[in-house]
Amino acid sequence: MSAKSWSLFLAAALGVTAALGSQSKPQYATDTLERPHLPHRTTLPESSAPGENPPNPPNRGSLPTTTGADPRCETPQHPFLKTSLREHQGRLRSLKWSAAADSRTADPWVIDAAVADDNSPMEPPAAPPVQVPDPPRQPVASSAPPPRSPPGRRPCSEPCYERATCNEELGRCDCPKQLTGTECQANTSASYLRYFTQTAKQEAAQPIPCFNRCNGRGKCVLGECVCERGFFSADCSLSIGPSGKPVILEGKGYLPRDQRPYIYVYDIPHRYSSWYNPRRMDREAHWALWQQMLPARVLVADGDEADWFFIPVKLRNSGDGPKLFKIINYIQKLWPWYDRLQGHRHFVIHMGDSGRGEVSEDVRQAFPNMTWLHHWGLYDDYPYSGWKAAHRPGKDVVIPVAFKTKVVKDLLSYSPLHPRAPHLHRDRALLFAGRVCGDYSPPDISKPWPHCKTNKSIGYSQGARQMVHFYHHNRTGYKVVTADHTYVLDLMRYRWCLAPSGGGHGHRQTLTAAMGCLPVVVSDQVMQPFEPEMDWAAFSMRVAQSDVPGMHNTLDAVGDVAYDRMQAAVQCAAQHLLYSSSHGAVMQEDGRWDAFETVMEILRMQQLYPGLDPGQYSNRDERFRLFMGCGHEHMADHGYEQRHAWKDKYPVPLEEHVYGNQRSFDWDVMYEGGLAALIKRAGREPEGLRIARGPQGGDLEREGVEGRRGGLQLCSVSRWDVTTKRCEIRCKKAISSRGCRSW
């Protein structure tokens, strides 16, 4: 990008923030984690460990009998830097500071580019921005009230209100991404800014969205809410009420829903929580869960009313652990609840391959009572792969991945679990398409075990992918490949889909379940999302790695009746595994059983029955049992009920609308263009379609969802729904906000 482009880009951003209003701000407002007026300040480190981690070094024991954009600058000198971006990029390359081998780009988490330590191996060197001299400061009056007592409004300085967001509970000034300094008076260096923003051209074409669209109480600047005077938090939802305490969406009638748990979110400085760039973000669960707390009405503004406390610090890489120390220290100095509960009922979300196991042992030991929501369920050491136990059943929660928009659009939108999708007999056995070898080489059957070019990373996927390929790649009815050009159709056709681990957690168990291809889990000592709280045996098959050679016999032993019941159960299980309330409906679900709500139910059970084996939750608590059964005693009962409702709702199958009932419709037709023809027809309102009603009854546009959640029914991301119901239409026309992504 040219110097002129950068100047215009930042000038435009500065112009937006300058128009937000004015007031006064105390001089203690910080751009570092400092408690105002405290004699002993708590500051976050000037740097934090960035980068994506390579897979753990493999234990090469014997085995028993599978992008972030790199912005490029065309100018040799950035207007705000003394050193050119090109030189910085060269220094970055010299440090080999890049994404992991699967082309994902991690958030670097350089805390302060202005004072970054060039000698640190854990961060990229960054040139300081040109510092604008601080304006003359007035001494803080000695009679200023302490930050905690009395509780009330603590205004910020006029420069803060003009440029940034003032947290009036703490008197803290949160600078937008492009500014830094105690009063946001200096420009952020481009080398630092690029990790949280995009180019001016990209921003003009498709601006980075903000959390909950700032609730109409602020401006969205480079993906960060700059709140209007009097409002604060990551989405501008908080303000100081008449009582002198924070309130949520004052004047809009916000009330927490009837059913607990209630969540309190610590408003830590935003650069540690809500700064992000979706084009560099490979894991979205943190945002999907956090963003949904407000529309789900589980948030409370007073921690004394909360059941759980969310610490929204971004955790993705192994180097993020030390940052957690500083965040907890900051929280302890400003709020009483962490110490009062000794860390219990506090949770963080880690999105790394190994979850809690990705932070160092001293971090885990320092916070033994805190709950971790992560994707990795390894509950015991696995020396063959060099993995250490990370998950504590009953304390931590294995959560499903939140799929990016591209996966939803390219795969989930075709889900055959939708009532209008054709339901042909699944006549093929097992499917796997993806990386097999730890060294990224394609499998070579002319080579000995494990059919890979080298033995590097032989512990990848615990050896499961290699074993399945070795024993079953040429078996009739089995498709074990590294790439599949008919993947969508194959997911609709095959009975079983392999769902192994990878370099850490996998995602296929969730993806294949949502596509109706029952997961075959080959991951010894690894719990799957919401396991054991959810009965995975009802809709999947777990195969021990020692049984992989005879896996075909295990799958063949499942009869048609048993398989049909598992297919009925996956209709419910898939709803638990998807963040439908965030990305939209895949199978005309209403979101009441989705992944967000499932997390809330599990947290409720942990609080209500501490120490109880989570596998016994359904036996102990009727509400939990009915929730996990999607309103029924068993998940399969929900699937059977939906089938009956759909026959009444869609009496004529979609394929008859397209081909009539004289022509035989089979898989050959589907592969030869039938799928495209059906999708085209599905976008139009079919003749004679009855009034669209959900499986639980009620118009699809009804207000509310049986008291569970307010608002309109979810918009649809499914290609099987008529166009007028789809999110791209409804969100654009602001017909519905349920299911419309706001990040």
* Residue 215 structure tokens: 């609730």
The answer to whether the CB of 587 falls within 8 A of the CB of 419 is yes
Question: 208 pLDDT band (50/70/90 cuts)?
Answer: confident
Query: What average pLDDT does the structure give for the chain?
Result: 78
| pLDDT reported for residue 321 | 81
Ranges 41-45, 303-307, 605-609: which has the least confidence:
41-45
| pLDDT reported for residue 730 | 66
Q: pLDDT tens digits for 373-427?
A: 999 999 999 999 988 999 999 999 999 999 988 899 999 999 999 999 998 999 9
User: What is the rounded distance in angstroms from the CA atom of residue 583 to the CA atom of residue 737?
Assistant: 10
Q: What is the mean pLDDT of residues 691-701?
A: 33
Q: What is the mean pLDDT of residues 137-145?
A: 38
Q: pLDDT tens digits for 475-524?
A: 999 999 999 999 999 999 999 999 999 888 889 999 999 999 999 999 99
Output b/e per residue, 539-562; b: 16+ Cβ within 10 A.
bbbbbebeebeebbebbeeeeeee
CA dihedral 663, 664, 665, 668 (to 10 degrees): -120
**pLDDT over threshold 90, residue 150:** no
The answer to whether the CB of 585 falls within 8 A of the CB of 699 is no
For residue 529, the one-letter residue type is P
Helix (H, G, I), strand (E, B) or coil at 544: coil
Nearest to 54 by CA among 317, 435, 383: 317
Residue 520 phi, psi (nearest 5): -110, 105
First vs last C-alpha separation in the chain: 25
Look at strands 494-498 and 478-481 and give their pairing.
Answer: unpaired
**pLDDT over threshold 60, residue 119:** no
| pLDDT reported for residue 10 | 52
* Residue 340 structure tokens: 């009062």
Q: Of 140-149, 578-587, 593-602, which one has max mean pLDDT?
A: 593-602
List the domain boundaries for the chain: 3-46+149-374
Question: 72 pLDDT band (50/70/90 cuts)?
Answer: very low
| pLDDT reported for residue 84 | 40
| pLDDT reported for residue 662 | 63
**pLDDT over threshold 50, residue 214:** yes
Residue with the larger pLDDT of the pair 691 and 643 = 643
Give the torsion sign (CA, 702, 704, 706, 709): positive
Look at strands 172-174 and 165-167 and give their pairing.
Answer: antiparallel
**pLDDT over threshold 60, residue 133:** no
**pLDDT over threshold 70, residue 363:** yes
Q: pLDDT tens digits for 612-624?
A: 999 999 999 999 9
Question: 360 pLDDT band (50/70/90 cuts)?
Answer: confident
User: What is the rounded distance in angstroms from the CA atom of residue 632 to the CA atom of residue 615?
Assistant: 18
The answer to whether the CB of 638 falls within 8 A of the CB of 328 is no
The answer to whether the CB of 499 falls within 8 A of the CB of 520 is yes
**pLDDT over threshold 70, residue 691:** no
**pLDDT over threshold 90, residue 700:** no
**pLDDT over threshold 90, residue 597:** yes
Question: 713 pLDDT band (50/70/90 cuts)?
Answer: confident
Residue with the larger pLDDT of the pair 230 and 35 = 230
User: What is the rounded distance in angstroms from the CA atom of residue 376 to the CA atom of residue 269?
Assistant: 28
pLDDT above 90 coverage of the chain, percent: 53
- DSSP of 350-376, one letter per residue? E-STTGGGGS-HHHHHH-TT-EEEES-
Q: pLDDT tens digits for 16-27?
A: 444 444 433 333
**pLDDT over threshold 80, residue 89:** no
- DSSP of 257-271, one letter per residue? -SSSP-EEE----GG
- DSSP of 315-329, one letter per residue? B-SGGGHHHHHHHHH
pLDDT above 70 coverage of the chain, percent: 73
Burial class (CB in 10 A: 0-12, 13-18, 19+), 485: exposed
The answer to whether the CB of 189 falls within 8 A of the CB of 83 is no
Q: What number of residues does the chain have?
A: 743
**pLDDT over threshold 90, residue 657:** no
